[in-house]
Amino acid sequence: MKKIAIFLAAILLVPACGEKTAQPGNDDLEGVWECIRGCEAEMLEFNIAEEGQVFFMYSGQRIYHSGTWKLDKNRLTLAYDDEETLTYPLTLKNDTLVLGNNEMMFAAYTPAKDPCDLSSLFALIDDISFSQPMLEDFPWNVSSDSGTEEVIVDGQMVQTIVKLEGDFSAIWKTAGTVATELRNLGFDTDPLMASDLVSGYRKGSCVVIFWPEIDDEDNTEAEVPLSIYFGKLP
């Protein structure tokens, strides 16, 4: 009888042990989360890059807070750029992220496929290392009855660093590589978005613009950021 009791006790303990869930890791948080309730931000993005772990808070597709983050077991610490640091108990279950005592709740953000979202293109281009896409507005010129009108595109931006080698040709070479990929997708240059520094490409309502951040003080051996903005015309 004692053996039966021990056996039954062992069976009852198995489900209890199985209920333990693995602690979330950094990779589980990486990505974009959308507010469900009680959040400080509409969207919260966690990035893991070579320079560290950074977060961005968005309101109306604009960044209004950023900083670094650290996950220690089930506690998330956000160190804001304004030097404020906050730590929250964290619970991650399926695609739901809870911070604090159910104070803030987020769901994993899975946007519908947008033909103007070229994030995957920039991730696949060989020999060019782009940053993670960030939500960013940018201007675009369109034809109107009065001539040309500027509209604001709610888009995204990626960036790469180009090392100059005696002149600015390295920038145009990098931009040319991306332009070739765009043409293969059916994009054409837009004459309304062309200047000595800026080049714009368009396919229907999908637009892309190259924006080298050249400073007057840059010498021909400098490292220059090349920003590429992309999105859909309003």
* Per-residue pLDDT of the chain in tens (234 residues, 90 and over written 9): 444 444 334 434 444 444 445 688 999 999 999 999 998 889 999 999 877 899 999 887 678 889 999 999 899 999 999 889 999 999 998 889 999 988 899 999 876 678 899 988 888 887 899 999 999 999 999 998 888 999 999 999 999 999 888 777 888 899 999 999 999 899 999 999 988 778 899 999 999 999 998 775 656 667 889 999 999 999
Q: Where are the domains of the chain?
A: 19-108, 119-232
Strands 134-144 and 188-194: unpaired
Residue 161 DSSP label: E
Query: What is the pTM for the complete model shown?
Result: 0.54
Domain 19-108: give its CATH code.
2.40.128.540
Q: How far is CA 86 from CA 6, 100, 201, in A?
A: 48, 11, 43
Q: Where are the beta strands (DSSP E) in 24-122?
A: 31-37, 43-49, 52-59, 62-72, 75-80, 85-93, 96-99, 104-108
Q: What is the dihedral of CA 124, 122, 204, 114, to 10 degrees?
A: 80
